[in-house]
Amino acid sequence: MQDLTRHLQEAIEINTDRMPRYAKLSDGQSIPFSKKLIRYEKMALWGAWIFDRVGDKLQAQGIPYMKSEFIEMSLTPDFSPTYPKEIDFNRPLKRVDISPYSKDIKRLISKGDIEGIVQSSNEILHDLEEQKHVYCMLRHIIESLRRIAFLIPIHEVKCEKLQIKAPSSYSYFLLKMHRWTLNQSMSIDEAIAPIQVSGVPILFQDLPHIDLDIE
């Protein structure tokens, strides 16, 4: 239990451990980005207890809320000083316009259109596949947003069978927070791209892929 808190703590541990490694590879250029990422994760810890309290209560009743939403950090790729051979990293970042997606997600959240959220997320993720070595943080946030949305009706069905209140309001709040961080994530990605293009796989291998395969 306490899954969100644990998830963030493990992320902080990974990024703290890797910070000096990336610093060595980038002649110190990566340090501000590593510190910013860790700082954001520590800030997120302040409110994690709210979701963990709800998650722990529901998990005790057989609803895997907050356990299914986040991928285990143990699935984070092992550290490597280089990209995998199949990744063509020596290409400048091609800027994407996230504003249409952000506006669309805001509209879909307000409508409670889960299918629309998943479809819109799939479309932008497909576009980002053209440059796998960059926009890693943005991709991670969108994948997380998509998974949280996808799980809402699944939890609702399980809760209805148990005649207990579904945690949908908390999930929708998480979706709004994810949407709010899209621009910040994109800014980090675009600022760190020159380091990634130079061959340093920072962020690329520090964020586990989040798919929709629910156990």
Query: Does residue 210 sit within a domain?
Result: no
Domain with 11 in it = 3-197
Tell me whether residue 41 is in a domain. Answer: yes
Position 32 scores a pLDDT of: 96
Residue 213 pLDDT: 67
In a domain, 212, yes or no: no
Report the Cα 130 to chain-centroid distance in Å: 19
- The C-alpha atoms of residue 132 and residue 87 are separated, in whole angstroms, by 7
* Average pLDDT per block of 10 residues along the chain, 215 residues long: 92 97 98 95 94 96 94 93 95 95 97 97 95 97 97 97 97 97 95 97 96 69
- How do residues 60-96 score in pLDDT, each as one tens digit? 999 999 999 988 899 999 999 999 999 999 999 999 9
Residue 207 lies in a domain: no
Q: Are 178 and 143 in contact (CB under 8 A)?
A: no
What integer pLDDT is reported at residue 1 of this predicted model? 76
What is this structure's pTM?
0.95
Structurally, the chain folds into a number of domains equal to 1
Domain presence at residue 206: no
Using an 8 Å Cβ cutoff, are 109 and 179 in contact? yes
Is residue 157 in some structural domain? yes
